[in-house]
Amino acid sequence: MMDVRTPEARSTTTDAERSAPDPLVRHDWTREEAKAFYEAPFNDLLYRAHCIHRAFFDPNTVQMSRLLSIKTGGCAEDCGYCSQSAHHASGLKASKLMAVERVVDEAKRARDAGATRYCMGAAWRSPKARDMDVLCGMVEGVKALGMETCMTLGMLGDEEVARLKAAGLDYYNHNIDTSERYYSEVITTRTFAERIDTLARVREAGIKVCAGGIVGMGEEPEDRVDMLVALANLPQHPESVPINMLIAIPGTPLAEAAPIDPIEFVRTIALARILMPKSHVRLSAGRTEMNESTQALCFFAGANSIFVGETLLTADNPDESSDAALFTKLGLKPLESEPRSGEQEDAQDA
Ligand code: SF4
C-alpha cells in the first residue's frame, strides 16, 4: 500500500517513523516492474505517479533553474542530438570560455529576477587543466551572490571534482542520455559506463547530482524504461532528473528523427516520478514543441522543475511571459526558496 500522505501529514510522523527508509524510495527496480508501470492504462499510471508526487512535494510548486552556456560549440564529442558537436554541420559558431566577470554579471541579473540556482554549461568532452582556475572562479563568484551553483562540463577526473567541490560547487549535471543498449546509436565517442563513472565520482565528493536523458531519439519504449531504471538504481537517486524531448536540429544526425508521441513523453515523466519519488523531475528541453495541455499533464504526472529563460544553451525555450501565463492557468507557483528537501531526505535514505 502506498503511503501517499501529504508532506504536512508526513511531518506529523514520529522520529522513529521518519528515520525508517521510505519503502517508496528504492534502488533495486527491475525492468519488468518499471515496464509494467510504463505500459499500464494511462489513467492508472498518472494516478500512481501523482499520488507519489503529492506525498513528497507540494504539487503546485515548480522549481526554476537558469542555464548559461559559458563555452559554446566546437565540442569533441559526437552526440547525435547536439548542435555543439564539432562533428556535425549545424552551422553553430564556436566560442571561447567566458570570463568570470561576465558570468557573474549574468548570474546577478538572474538572481535579481528571482533565480536561486545558476547552471553553467560548457561544450566539452572534459575540462582542461588550464580552464580549472576560471571555472572555480565562476563557482566562487556565483556562490558569493548567495546563489546555488550547478555546472555541466563533460567527464571529470578526481582532481577536477576535488577542485570544483573546494570552490563550492553544489550540483553537477551529467546526463546518461539514453539506455545502455541504445547508447552507441547516439554517441560513439564515449560509453555509457564512462558517464556512470563521472556520476559516481561527483557523488562520492559530496556534490549533488543532476542526471537525466533525452527521449524522442528513435529509441524504443524499453530504452526509456531502461534509462530510468539505470538512474533509479544508482546508489543514491539524482537530486534532479532532467527529461529532455529531442529538439531535432538541422545538420545533426538526428535532424530527421520522428517526434515522440506526447503521451509517451508524459508516460516517461510519470515513470521517473514513480521510480525516483524524492527527486526533482525537470521538464527540460523541448517545451517549445509541447502545447500547454502536454505540459499540464507532465506537471500532474510529477514534473516539478523547469528551465526558464528564452534559450537553453543553444536551443529555444518558452519565453517567460508564456510560462507565467501557463502557471496562472494551472495555479502553479515558482519555488521561492530551497525545496523541503526531498534531496536531503534521499541522502538519508541512501
Ligand atoms: S551534448 Fe555536450 S558533450 Fe555532447 S556534443 Fe553536445 S556539448 Fe558536446
- Give 187 Cα–ligand 1 centroid separation in angstroms: 10
- Residues with Cβ within 8 Å of 191's Cβ and at least 6 positions away in sequence, in order, are 183, 184
Q: Could you tell me if residue 284 is inside a domain?
A: yes
To the query of whether residue 298 is one of the catalytic residues in this protein, the response is no
Higher pLDDT, 25 or 307: 25
Domain holding 59, by residue range, is 26-335
Tell me the backbone φ, ψ of residue 11, rounded to 5 degrees. -70, -10
Q: What is the mean pLDDT of residues 200-207?
A: 97
Q: Could you tell me if residue 340 is inside a domain?
A: no
Query: Is the CB of 75 within 6 Å of ligand 1?
Result: yes
> Long-range contacts made by residues 76-79, C-beta under 8 angstroms, separation at least 24?
76/124, 76/125, 76/189, 77/125, 77/154, 77/187, 77/189, 77/190, 78/187, 78/188, 78/189, 79/177, 79/186, 79/187
Q: Which three cell numbers stand for residue 146?
A: 548567495
> What's the confidence (pLDDT) of residue 137?
97
Ligand 1 atom closest to the Cα of residue 122 is 7
Identify the CATH number of the domain in which residue 295 sits: 3.20.20.70
- Which range among 159-173, 259-273, 329-343 shows the weakest confidence by mean pLDDT? 329-343
The model's pLDDT over 54-92, given as tens digits with 9 standing for 90+, comes to: 999 999 999 888 889 999 999 999 999 999 999 998 888
* Bridge partners of residue 66, in order along the sequence: 118, 308
Question: How far is 131 from 119, CA to CA, in rounded Å?
Answer: 17
Number of structural domains the chain divides into = 1
Residue in 82, 195, 273, 298 annotated catalytic = 82
For the chain, percent of residues with pLDDT exceeding 70: 88
Mean pLDDT of the chain: 89
Ligand 1 atom closest to the Cα of residue 85 is 5
Question: How far is 177 from 150, CA to CA, in rounded Å?
Answer: 18
> What's the confidence (pLDDT) of residue 86?
93
Query: Is the CB of 123 within 6 Å of ligand 1?
Result: yes
Say whether pLDDT at 158 is over 90: yes
- Give 208 Cα–ligand 1 centroid separation in angstroms: 21
Q: Could you tell me if residue 234 is inside a domain?
A: yes
Per-residue confidence band for 349, with pLDDT thresholds at 50, 70 and 90: very low
> What's the confidence (pLDDT) of residue 114?
74
Residue in 51, 66, 117, 119 annotated catalytic = 119
- Give 320 Cα–ligand 1 centroid separation in angstroms: 26
Say whether pLDDT at 346 is over 70: no
* Secondary structure in 3-state letters for the chain: CCCCCCHHHHCCCCHHHHHCCCCCCCCCCCHHHHHHHHHCCHHHHHHHHHHHHHHHCCCCEEEEEEEEEEECCCECCCCCCCCCECCCCCCCCCCCCCCHHHHHHHHHHHHHCCCCEEEEEECCCCCCHHHHHHHHHHHHHHHHCCCEEEEECCCCCHHHHHHHHHHCCCEEECCCECCCCCHHHHCCCCCHHHHHHHHHHHHHCCCEEECCEEECCCCCHHHHHHHHHHHHCCCCCCCEEEEEECCCCCCCCCCCCCCCCHHHHHHHHHHHHHHCCCCEEEECCCHHHCCHHHHHHHHHHCEEEEEECCEECCEECCCHHHHHHHHHHHCCEECCCCCCCHHHHHHHHC
Question: How far is 343 from 251, CA to CA, in rounded Å?
Answer: 39
Among 334, 145, 347, 327, which residue's Cα sits nearest to residue 238?
Answer: 347
Question: How far is 304 from 276, CA to CA, in rounded Å?
Answer: 13
Q: Could you tell me if residue 16 is inside a domain?
A: no
Tell me the backbone φ, ψ of residue 213, rounded to 5 degrees. -165, -170
Q: Which three cell numbers stand for residue 34?
A: 518499471
Q: What is the mean pLDDT of residues 278-282?
A: 96
Q: Could you tell me if residue 14 is inside a domain?
A: no
Say whether pLDDT at 345 is over 60: no
Per-residue confidence band for 295, with pLDDT thresholds at 50, 70 and 90: very high
Residue in 51, 75, 136, 298 annotated catalytic = 75
Question: How far is 268 from 150, CA to CA, in rounded Å?
Answer: 24
- Give 75 Cα–ligand 1 centroid separation in angstroms: 6
Residue in 48, 210, 267, 273 annotated catalytic = 210
* Bridge partners of residue 112, in order along the sequence: none
To the query of whether residue 18 is one of the catalytic residues in this protein, the response is no
Of all protein residues, the one whose alpha carbon is nearest to atom 5 of ligand 1 is 85
Q: Could you tell me if residue 346 is inside a domain?
A: no
Would you say the C-alpha torsion 233, 271, 248, 324 has a positive or negative sign? negative
- Give 288 Cα–ligand 1 centroid separation in angstroms: 21
To the query of whether residue 340 is one of the catalytic residues in this protein, the response is no
Say whether pLDDT at 347 is over 90: no
Residue in 51, 79, 136, 298 annotated catalytic = 79
Please, are residues 128 and 135 in contact by the beta-carbon 8 Å criterion? no
> What's the confidence (pLDDT) of residue 329?
96
Q: Could you tell me if residue 344 is inside a domain?
A: no
- Give 122 Cα–ligand 1 centroid separation in angstroms: 8
Please, are residues 260 and 216 in contact by the beta-carbon 8 Å criterion? yes
Of all protein residues, the one whose alpha carbon is nearest to atom 7 of ligand 1 is 123
Q: What is the mean pLDDT of residues 130-136?
A: 97
- Give 193 Cα–ligand 1 centroid separation in angstroms: 16
Pocket test for ligand 1, best of 81, 85, 198, 254 (most atoms within 8 A of CB): 85
Say whether pLDDT at 9 is over 70: no
> What's the confidence (pLDDT) of residue 242?
96
Is pTM, for the whole model, over 0.75? yes
> What's the confidence (pLDDT) of residue 7?
54
Query: Is the CB of 178 within 6 Å of ligand 1?
Result: no
To the query of whether residue 136 is one of the catalytic residues in this protein, the response is no
Q: What is the mean pLDDT of residues 221-238?
A: 97
Q: Could you tell me if residue 43 is inside a domain?
A: yes
Query: Is the CB of 154 within 6 Å of ligand 1?
Result: yes
Please, are residues 55 and 2 in contact by the beta-carbon 8 Å criterion? yes
> What's the confidence (pLDDT) of residue 126?
95
